[in-house]
Structure 1
Amino acid sequence: MNRALRAAAVLAVASGGLVAVAAAPAQSADAEPDTCVAVLAKGETAPVDTACFSDFRALASWVTDGEITDAPRAAAVAAEDEALQDDLAALDAVVIGVEYEHEWLGGASITVIGEDGPCTGELTDLEYAVVNVGWEFAPPPGQGFPWWNDRVSSFTTGGNCWSNHFADEGFGGRNTGFVPIHNHLGGMNDATTSIIWS
């Protein structure tokens, strides 16, 4: 990923309290990462870049080339840190969603960045997609592919996007329908294989 995109996709808070971050190289295997990131391009079904970090502070430090080294360790706390938001607001990050391992936005997370800007708000415009989260999203170090498959239990969206989570690869099978947030996926809990953002 080029340095300009990395700098642009730093940290933002959207309507749902999302935290945006940029992709970066994975940490060592002995870390216990729970903050991952994927950058998507419109019209593509695989990320441009994806990686995981030991915590949000490590991610923010890498994204800002070491300019911010005191960010909160938890992404959820960073989302509510107004001073941090002010420092990074000028970077125009576009977060289209955050996927969580556990219900109520808990556990490991992967923040999804839309490199081509926000969604149009029209649910008929299928703008961003991942055909198979297990093979396309980077697993935390020490974990193998397809770690993210059948692991998503909750999510939020941003960047004027709503998402639809599907049980099968290639956007088939049971699905959530287009919604902006889901604290518990019920019958779709731990069943997501592909996702569309529109």
Structure 2
Amino acid sequence: MRTGHLKSVGVFAAAGSLLAFAPATATAATARTPQHCTVSVEGGDMRCFDTYRQAIAAATGGLVADAPLDVETAMADPSFADRIDRAGETVGARAGEARAGDAQAGDARPGAAAAAAAVVLSTEYEHGNFGGASLSVTGPSACGSARWQLALGADWNDRISSYKTFNNCQVRHWEHTDFSGANTGYQVGDQDWIGDLNDRASSIDFTYGESPTTAQLLKDCGKATESCDFRPTGNASYSYGGAHEVARGYNCSSVAQTRKMTWTEQTSGENSVSTEISVTAGFDFLEKFEVTFKASYGHKWAWADTFAEETTLQVPAGQVGWVDRNTHLQSASGTYELHYKSKHWGHYVWYVKNFSGTGPVPQEAGVVTWNTRKMTAAEKNAQCKGRAAFVTAEPGAEGAAAPTAPAGAASARSAATVSSGR
């Protein structure tokens, strides 16, 4: 709902009693389109900056001074949300120390440190998928017993399309400036689309909303849930993990040798929460990923694959030969939607978004090559002295190329995010 009113800000206790309500004055930023702004639920002017980094530095009082320059990069980095939450904990601790100091001095009013403290409650985005301009809303503490309310000013009225919460907050968006009309219901975490209130929100309120980790949700998938489904996004992609040695042999004779080298290699995949959940642990969500991948893309998926092959290796006299394999990998990403019979963390529905997996293409050799070079004196002494004409050795012996990490493994760990439904 569009209004001609100036922005007003309200702060309410959990029971709804009014603590403060003050109109904010217009700023110079209202004369132009805001890029990255901050505003407090306690009142005061909206401040706008050219970069998201500057806005977050201002919103956190300098505790997070090196945020990404743009919101898209920030949203792709889960460590950024952790830093915002840690900054909120620091602000809370400082406020507690300030209050304790005031009490000892016989002053019941908040100290200077507490008054200057700010905690990021949410960042609101102009476009879906966390794009465009941003508005970071701050409060005096993380969400808990207090309930914070904010009526959006002219710059952000009817403008929000997506949002993200921080510091144990869940947020509800309202159609009108007086917290009435249609609303989104309380949501927590990453919400890449506001839904029916797209470009229609005129006020928002915050309350406590605990958010589970991706690992907690995925461990519940198919076990503690009524339903759990994986929905892939986009096309599957294919890559190679890098050439690495799988077999080696030394020709200790004075004539060329031809040998059939039998080798076996087991390759494990990666997923976006692999630091917390192993792909070999047998969780139901891994099986759902496999089934959905095959149904969607027509190819079998494997989180781990053991491949065996025989390679004919021709090694000239006095040389060492080795077999390299470049493993063929496949990757896919999407969203898990989990439905619980009763409320978990305050909601029936939870999402794990941007989950990604990378695994070996089952029973495919990839690219297999063999190479030779002249043995060093040390190798001749170690491998050929008093031994057979041709000596095999374990992969990774002296002179071998080091195995390369699968492509996409590092990026897969940094993508998954959590958001709530109803």
TM-score for both structures, normalised by structure 2: 0.31
The change in CA–CA distance for 1:60 and 1:185 in structure 2 (over 3 A counts) is closer
User: In the alignment, which residue of structure 1 is the partner of 2:172?
Assistant: 164
Indicate whether 1:130 and 2:150 are aligned: yes
Q: Which amino acid aligns with 1:158?
A: F
Matches within 5 A, 1:91-170: 91-92=90-91, 94-115=119-140, 117-120=141-144, 127-131=147-151, 133=152, 135=153, 146-170=154-178
Inter-CA distance 81–48: structure 2 relative to 1 (3 Å threshold): same
Q: Secondary structure at the match of 2:48?
A: strand
Computing the radius of gyration from Cα coordinates, the structure with the larger value is 2
Determine which of 45, 68, 71 is the counterpart of 1:72: 68
The count of aligned residue pairs is 148
Question: 1:61 & 1:118 partners in 2: Cα distance?
Answer: 17
Quickly say closer, same or farther: Cα 1:188–1:94, change in 2 above 3 A.
same
Q: Does 1:188 align with 2:197?
A: yes
Q: In the TM superposition, what is the alpha-carbon distance from 1:182 to its structure 2 partner?
A: 2.1
Using the alignment, how far apart are the partners of 1:186 and 1:110 within structure 2? 18
* TM-fit CA distance, 1:81: 8.9
Q: CA deviation at 1:94?
A: 2.2
Q: 1:81-128: CA deviations, max 9, x gaps? A: 969x59x9585362111100001111100111112x1111xxxx5611
Please name the residue that 1:51 is paired with.
47
The structure showing larger relative contact order (alpha-carbon pairs under 8 Å, at least 6 residues apart) is 1
Partner of 2:99: none
More strand by share: 2
Amino acid corresponding to residue 127 of structure 1 in structure 2: R
Mapped to 2, the partners of 1:51 and 1:105 lie a distance apart of 20
**Counterpart AA for 1:150:** D
How far the C-alpha of 1:59 sits from its partner, in A, is 3.8
Question: What is residue 183 of structure 2 aligned with on the other side?
Answer: 175
Quote the offset at 1:56 in angstroms.
2.6
Q: Does the 8 Å CA contact 1:53/1:59 hold for their aligned counterparts?
A: yes
Segments of 5+ residues of structure 1 without an aligned counterpart are 1-24, 42-46, 136-145
Contact 2:68-2:74 at 8 Å conserved across structures: yes
Quote the offset at 1:161 in angstroms. 1.0
**Is the partner of 2:182 in helix, strand or coil?**
strand
- Give, as a single letter, the amino acid of the residue that structure 1 aligns with 2:183: N
- In structure 2, distance between residues paired with 1:160 and 1:103: 22
CA separation of 1:113/1:155 partners in 2, compared to 1, >3 Å: closer, same or farther?
same
The alignment's C-alpha RMSD in Å is 3.5
Letter in 2 for 1:73: L
Cα offset, 1:60, TM superposition:
5.8
TM-score of the superposition, structure 1-length normalised? 0.60
